[in-house]
Amino acid sequence: MADYRVGVAVSAKVERRVAWVEANRADLQPTRVGGVGDELVRLVLRFEARSEADAVEQAMAVFDRAARMTADGSAGSNLGVVGAKVWKASHPAPDDYR
């Protein structure tokens, strides 16, 4: 297992999902970061995972749950998630997530 960070960008229209993650998943150390002139909300989460793909899968599962809990998405839907980037915690974050 390795320590990964996953940056998730979501449409500002579903910002309630980000707020839900911040309020309910403190264990993932959610941190909002500023965007680069777009209308996205970016959140960085911490995961212990076997691989980058596993970390992204875990992040998408968190946002699936957030969609269900905020009633702004159907079960299992990641509509509103615009993108995700993953990196090892020991490496610098991508530009959009600094």
Q: List pLDDT tens digits, range 65-80.
A: 998 898 755 544 567 8
Give the residue extent of every domain in the chain: 2-89
Q: Which CATH architecture has domain 2-89?
A: 2-Layer Sandwich (3.30)
| Residues in contact with 61: Cβ distance below 8 Å, sequence separation at least 6, in sequence order | none
From CA 34, how far away is CA 27, in angstroms rounded?
Answer: 21
Mean pLDDT of the chain: 90
The residue with greater pLDDT, 86 or 98, is 86
Q: Residues 21-37: what's their mean pLDDT?
A: 90
Tokens of 98: 């600094």
Q: Residues 54-70: what's their mean pLDDT?
A: 94
Q: Residues 43-69: what's their mean pLDDT?
A: 96
Residues 77 and 60 sit within 8 Å (Cβ to Cβ): no
From CA 43, how far away is CA 68, in angstroms rounded?
Answer: 18
| Residues in contact with 49: Cβ distance below 8 Å, sequence separation at least 6, in sequence order | 1, 2, 4, 55, 58
